Amino acid sequence: MNEKTLNNRYEFVLLFDVENGNPNGDPDAGNMPRIDAETGLGLVTDVCLKRKIRNYVELVKAGEPGYDIYVREGVVLNQLNKEAYDHHPEIELKESKEDRIEAKKKDDQLTLARWMCKKYFDIRTFGAVMTTGVNCGQVRGPVQLTFSKSIDPINPTEVSITRMAVTNEKDIEKERTMGRKAFVPYGLYRLEGYISAPLAQQTGFSEEDLELLWTALINMFEHDRSAARGKMASQKLFVFKHDTALGNAPANKLFQLVQVQRKDGVTVPRSFNDYEVTVGTAPQGVAIIEML
């Protein structure tokens, strides 16, 4: 694993869309697509997209040291935390009346956190709270994502679906099972993200990790297909690279340089081609890189 230090601050804008699918259902609303009740704009949570990034990295880096995934389905996180203690048997533990494992010295706590960062890609990227029963500390990740928001209001729709089979013998006379399916006919969403060089240096997030992140953002939907999610795709990725670690311009001003509007005459967008994307001129000390 290449550990070249990240020395530049970055921000980025990702445009992705969904056609006849549910990009991020809300379990508190019958799994309907998430929506801002006041504006009608669609929402996709940061957690949803982090899951897709993790899944992509796990797929392409399977078995490669330094690219394990910490938050994944079916794992017990405290068992993973304990591996850090097993790897450092010299660490002296605090006395505790509770069922808790914790390093006595602060330096040892940092050693455990660094070991977890080196082993798990998602910890050194997004950070993690590992202060539960087996305490490996808390890591603040250099990569942070916002909620994604659709460019135009979405129209969440439900349709009835049938299955030509039943689940239980008692329902055999029904001959079929009825259900509901929620989807968005079309929606173009905008994700904005931040990458801190000082935090990257703390967690070990490297230039190689950064390249993997860009690749994941571009390709994360390609291996996340399902009938429920319809057709999803990353359409554009704009990266703002600062000349320095602390940055050369406010992030909000840079985000404003990327403008997305419906083309003239389009009243109901149904594809990415119905939109026009324009990019302004970056201030001194910042380069705009169009990666997709």
> pLDDT tens, 221-249?
999 999 889 899 999 999 999 999 999 99
Q: What is the mean pLDDT of residues 77-100?
A: 88
Domain with 215, as residue range(s), is 10-61+140-290
Q: Is there a contact between 254 and 11 (Cβ–Cβ < 8 Å)?
A: yes
| pLDDT over threshold 80, residue 119 | yes
Residue 71 included in any domain: no
Residue 285 included in any domain: yes
Number of domains, the chain: 1
Segment 128-150, tens digit of pLDDT: 999 988 999 999 999 999 999 99
| pLDDT over threshold 90, residue 5 | no
| pLDDT over threshold 70, residue 92 | yes
Q: Is there a contact between 215 and 12 (Cβ–Cβ < 8 Å)?
A: no
| pLDDT over threshold 60, residue 2 | no
The identity of residue 154, as a single letter, is I
Residue 284 included in any domain: yes
Residue 34 included in any domain: yes
| pLDDT over threshold 70, residue 123 | yes
Residue 197 included in any domain: yes
Rounded to whole angstroms, the Cα distance separating 24 from 34 reads 6
Residue 20 included in any domain: yes
Q: What is the mean pLDDT of residues 7-36?
A: 95
Residue 177 included in any domain: yes
Residue 68 included in any domain: no
DSSP letter assigned to residue 200: H
